[in-house]
Amino acid sequence: MKYIVGMVGVSAGMVMNMGIAAVAWAEQPLSVVYPPDGHETTAAQIFLIGTAPPAGEVTVNGQPIERSAAGHFAPSFPLQLGENAFTLRYQDQELVLRVTRTDPNPTLPPGTGFAEGSLAPAVDIARLPNEPICFSAIAPAQATVSVSLSDQSIALLPQPSSVNLPPNSAVLTFSNQPAPSPTTTYQGCIAVASPGDLGVPEFQLTLNGSTIRQSGPSRVSVLAPAQVEVVEVTADSGTARSGPSTDYSRLTPLPKGTQASVTGREGEWLRLDYGGWIRASETQAIPNAALPRTLIRSIRARTMGEWTEIAFPLQAPVPVTVQQGNRSFVLTLHNTTAQTDTIFLNDDPVIERLDWQQAAPSQVQYTFNLKSAQQWGYKLRYEGTTLILSLRHPPQVKSDSLAGIRILLDPGHGGPEDLGARGPTGYPEKEVALIVSQLLRDRLEARGATVIMTREGDIDLYPQDRAALINQAEPTLALSLHYNALPDDGDAVNTAGIGTFWYNAQSHSLAVFLHNYLVTSLDRPSYGVFWNNLALTRPTVAPAVLLELGFMINPDEFEWIINSAEQERLADALADGIAAWLQQQ
């Protein structure tokens, strides 16, 4: 995990660049890895990660700070809005850092006016006839706010209980509580029956006898039902989301070739007829296309190597959603009506029974009751208008060997630009992740496993490239090995331990088992188990887990992380845990 960047050090009062220290106890001048001088943050506190020779005292703004036996430190300090100065001293060395805390809330201008950037919608939008079109703005309390649009005036009323949600990353510091908004949000909606371009909304604010008007940043239109646009997914795996930005949650990826009608637009995003949103750049319009609707009749399953393929012949490649459960795999076809009388499904290595129902007038739901609680991977693709679902067979695991098992190991980060987190000496996550991955590789190969490494050296690999390697290799399981850091408002001194991250349900058992196994066998603290939407946890072809094996920024845990004997013990425990999990399935 990457939060720590930059490093500065001082010697005899002079600021200097520091080289990377390969061992925790290396004697080096007073230095701070994080934050860099001039850092800006919205957090209410900041930690200072650094080191100095262990003998002697380090002070921050005149107050002594605690350090590890090797001389490392990571104290946290509160931040006031604006610039905060921290003066660090060790003997005759001095270092001054300036950190600026900015207010994350919109700021009202002096006098009468809207908060900058608060007028919504902020991008061009299109909605269906009679669908609510909502407007909002942040303005002073006691103001009168309205919007004019296409000869209509819409009153925007103050919302009495507005709250702000913290970012998703707040759960990493266990501080994800909502907070009352310090500003007043005004909101109102209309519904328009007639299609057409409604133009640019004009916002009006009146306060203490003064009135200002401001044009909105977007145009508003209503779609014509008789001229529905149909699009086709052109990306290999279309990223569907619950709303029109990357802030919204991912839904089941849409296979290439999926077709759907457009029921709304918001900026660069399209709302598809089944409810998901997708970037327009991942689609292309199909001229003169009819609404994608299909019947489904017979279904056929067959064994193809280590996969069972189920073919769903359709008239159009419609959107799909998937939900994995305990001993179940549920596939929903949207815009589909069943005329099914016959399904061909022999006794199968994965499937116990297939049930189906017309769950809604335009949804057919297929429930695969599985022979095992552990699922090993799935794939979805369209061949023309036929949907192919592939379910992976369980591996054959020997009691005394991992022969026949393929394991992909992904050492986190790499290359000159992606160091990952850095410890108090500046030692980077990318190096220790590679060392431990190579130690683990050797142990797994000694047990008979085939190991695929995403990198063997210090090379750049984007997360999507690593995920593509998982999809290409189709391993039995995939592990991404990392070391951790925290957002600015974290407590670096008191946060430590093993964390595991999973996304697809088929990966949950592996994540929990490895987490508990490492914590128990190595007597390490537990940071926890997290469901997390990460590039290296999203692949569906195999159980995929990302491990954070300790906190680089914790002064004491850092010394454990880079201890070569402890790295050997960690690799042993990982290999033992992987083998134990496989053998209990």
* Intervals of CATH 3.40.630.40 along the chain: 406-584
Give the span between the Cα atoms of 468 and 453, in whole angstroms.
Answer: 13
pLDDT of residue 160: 86
pLDDT of residue 16: 28
* Intervals of CATH 2.60.40.10 along the chain: 8-101
Give the span between the Cα atoms of 30 and 522, in whole angstroms.
Answer: 32
Give the span between the Cα atoms of 554 and 424, in whole angstroms.
Answer: 8
**Weakly modelled stretches of the chain, pLDDT under 70:** 1-27
pLDDT of residue 26: 46
pLDDT of residue 27: 61
Contact predicate 341/297, CB 8 Å: yes
Task: Provide the CATH topology of domain 294-392.
Answer: Immunoglobulin-like (2.60.40)
Alpha helix segments (H runs only) across 368-497 = 429-446, 463-473
pLDDT of residue 19: 34
pLDDT of residue 28: 74
According to DSSP, residue 412 is labeled -
Global confidence as pTM: 0.93
Angle between helices 429-446 and 564-584 (to 10 degrees): 50
Q: Does domain 229-285 have CATH number 2.30.30.40?
A: yes
Task: Provide the CATH topology of domain 8-101.
Answer: Immunoglobulin-like (2.60.40)
Task: Provide the CATH topology of domain 125-222.
Answer: Immunoglobulin-like (2.60.40)
Class at the top of the CATH hierarchy for domain 406-584: alpha beta
Alpha helix segments (H runs only) across 2-150 = none
pLDDT of residue 15: 28
Give the span between the Cα atoms of 574 and 568, in whole angstroms.
Answer: 10
